[in-house]
Structure 1
Amino acid sequence: MTNHKEYLAFAEATLDAIESALDASGAEVEYERNGNVLTLEFEDGSKIIVNLQAAMQEIWLAAKAGGFHYRQQDGAWLDTRGGMELFAALSRYASEQAGVTIELSKG
């Protein structure tokens, strides 16, 4: 990212894409967006929280599996530690928490 405005545009578009992917998946996942925070809630009451961290120009994800930080690189959000792409990671963690396979794609 080169500037704050570009980061916000790309990050907010990513939150929109996650919402669209959840709708398209047909998964039994409730979600709510409040500003720059997207909360996914599963039937067992567990949650995944995806939020924008503008100061770091990152997207953070909190799930039962732990906390993860994603930084934009070549048009994708990649985990700063393991390198996993955000949508792949979100599919994995959502599937684990839902107990069924949930495939989320950018679109």
Structure 2
Amino acid sequence: MTDTEFMDRAEALLKAVETCCDHINDESDADVDNQRMGGMVTLTFANKTQIIINLQKPLHEVWMAAKSGGYHFHWVQDQWMDTKGQGEFFEGLTRNASTQAGMALIFQA
């Protein structure tokens, strides 16, 4: 994958996360604040816990730091997959965000 391809795919991922947060806030009682600074999105939940998603351009990876730990994702067969075999990015984000928010949340591409 070229640097340009990585950035296009990674930017689409970050925009999808932001869009999901907007939908979650509009359609539920959840309060998920999302702030974007360059290649990083910080999600802050009502209980003040956070999930941080950032781009690792030299590695062509997307990293997610959640209360449960850190995860690295690499583009494989048209999706962002965990480098340690723990599944797809949006599945992991949904699981971690739901746990941290204390309610079911759905994130998808």
Q: TM-score, normalised by structure 1?
A: 0.94
Structure 2 residue aligned with 1:7:
6
| Amino acid corresponding to residue 36 of structure 1 in structure 2 | G
| Amino acid corresponding to residue 60 of structure 1 in structure 2 | W
2:15 equivalent to 1:16: yes
Q: CA deviation at 1:25?
A: 2.3
Tell me, what secondary structure is at the counterpart of 1:31? strand
Where does structure 2 lack aligned partners over 5 or more consecutive residues?
none
Tell me, what secondary structure is at the counterpart of 2:59? coil
Tell me, what secondary structure is at the counterpart of 1:28? coil
Of 16, 39, 42, the residue aligned with 2:42 is: 39
**Greater share of helix residues, 1 or 2?**
2
Tell me, what secondary structure is at the counterpart of 1:43? coil
Structure 2 residue aligned with 1:66:
69
Displaced runs of 4 or more, over 4 A: none
Between stretches 10-19 and 22-31, larger displacement belongs to 22-31
Q: CA deviation at 1:71?
A: 0.2
2:93 equivalent to 1:104: no
Of 75, 80, 84, the residue aligned with 1:81 is: 84
Q: CA deviation at 1:82?
A: 2.1
Identity value in percent: 39
Structure 2 residue aligned with 1:51:
54
Q: CA deviation at 1:23?
A: 1.4
| Amino acid corresponding to residue 14 of structure 2 in structure 1 | L
Q: How many residues align?
A: 105
The question of whether the paired residues in 1 share the 8 Å contact of 2:24 and 2:32 is answered with no
